Structure 1
């Protein structure tokens, strides 16, 4: 099953994604739906008419997550290109909900940075409240998966040893286009990122060092995870900052982030004028 959050004049509505369009489930976003214990049966039983919408009406699939926990250095290819050793534990940082934009919304490059980079990522969507989860409990707490591009301001990220200031700029993180339940996602699904027509990242989610269940278990050891919380699992090799010479996003480009079985984010890139 696939679920999306749609923008309307009266607020968000949740829809089930079908090959022919969208079936309206009801008011509220996907995150609010996940807070209900019977969200799966509600979603599956919705039988309204199939509707068609413009892609610009797709909102971030979870517009207001309580937490966005991000994992750095989690694909072996990316760890190698950044010159690091394989970590013993996940490298964690956070984003805030204000960073999120929809799956087809434009990305406005902040005028404070000339080093805005791409990072295609698989995202775990939590569907059940958990704390100190073992692996089996962690697997059962996963509602599904979506896509995020962890757009990063490298000149700000590496000002200090801590990364937060380069990772959580407002309205820089496309999320969506939908949530897919775990049965919809192959263990070796292809993940890729393109800038215009050039593929700059391409790998399989099977290259993850710490997988989804391991991350839910690890993070829930520290803090309670709630329905609608997000864990961005890290990016694969091919980021612009690791290239020689380094490459970054520029005005007029289109950033496309894909994961097989989920869909794609299509993000027009625009430069904000300096004040």
Structure 2
């Protein structure tokens, strides 16, 4: 099932996407369940927005793919490397993203993101599926020059617009540990990987995040990016496609 958040007139609504329609839900599915209202819209007639604005946090993981760590000259960490993005970094499918004035080296990173469905802490890996609401596509935008100079990654990873999510949440892909990830810049393929190449499984990463933080409904866990990342410039269009989920599109400006 695909759960979208969208705008028709003003206030965002949630809906179930089926074929070319979106069926409006009664309230917030994270707290009120999946209840349709009987109202539907053509998908082309609505504007998709970020499928979730995290209640508290986005937890990111870095260097979870060996080839990506190598391409940036980094060692693979012995433990998953965590960082946080504020919820003000989240934007949706198709939203224009203003490149930050403090950086001349913003890089795209296509990756699978996990959306948490209920409050949890210290979740064993085998129990992780019980706390997941679904999965979406993410672009972990990173200011590489700030990442090199700042002792912590808050500015490099957390600037406004640095966390595009969308186009919707897929609640039940066949196997989150075997999903193809393709990133295109202006139509040219730059990343072509799979979550099967993750050093740690998706469940292991969520479990590790839950050791450090209490996870709340709507929190997002970003699982890291495969090799092939690169810089974006004004006017570039980045499309990140994840098998069984969809394609997230972002346009960049100064």
Whether 1:233 aligns to 2:223 is yes
Which shifted more, 196-205 or 82-91? Answer: 82-91
Aligned mates of 1:189, 1:136 — CA distance in 2 = 19
Using the size of structure 2 for normalisation, the TM-score is 0.93
Aligned counterpart, 1:17: 17
Which shifted more, 140-149 or 50-59? Answer: 50-59
Higher strand share: 2
Quote the offset at 1:185 in angstroms: 5.0
1:164-223 C-alpha deviation (Å, 9 max, x unpaired) = 210111123211111111345553221011110211111011111122211221111122
Which shifted more, 80-89 or 217-226? Answer: 80-89
Q: 1:121 aligns with which of 99, 111, 115?
A: 111
CA contact (8 A) 1:256 1:266 kept: yes
1:37-63 C-alpha deviation (Å, 9 max, x unpaired) = xx2xx25xx262431144771110002
Quote the offset at 1:25 in angstroms: 0.8
1:55-79 C-alpha deviation (Å, 9 max, x unpaired) = 7711100024321000000112212
Q: Where does the alignment leave 5 or more consecutive residues of structure 2 unmatched?
A: none
CA contact (8 A) 1:56 1:104 kept: no
Distance 1:181 1:153, change over 3 A: same
Secondary structure in 1 matching 2:49: coil
1:24-173 to 2 correspondences below 5 Å: 24-27=24-27, 32-36=28-32, 39=33, 42-43=34-35, 46=36, 48-54=38-44, 57-173=47-163
CA contact (8 A) 2:202 2:223 kept: yes
CA contact (8 A) 2:8 2:46 kept: no
How many residues are paired up?
A: 254
CA contact (8 A) 1:108 1:172 kept: no
Distance 1:94 1:186, change over 3 A: closer
Quote the offset at 1:116 in angstroms: 1.0
CA RMSD across the alignment: 1.8
Which shifted more, 213-222 or 145-154? Answer: 213-222
Aligned counterpart, 1:3: 3
CA contact (8 A) 2:20 2:43 kept: no
Quote the offset at 1:10 in angstroms: 4.1
Using the size of structure 1 for normalisation, the TM-score is 0.86
CA contact (8 A) 1:188 1:205 kept: yes
Aligned mates of 2:7, 2:149 — CA distance in 1 = 37
Aligned counterpart, 1:263: 246
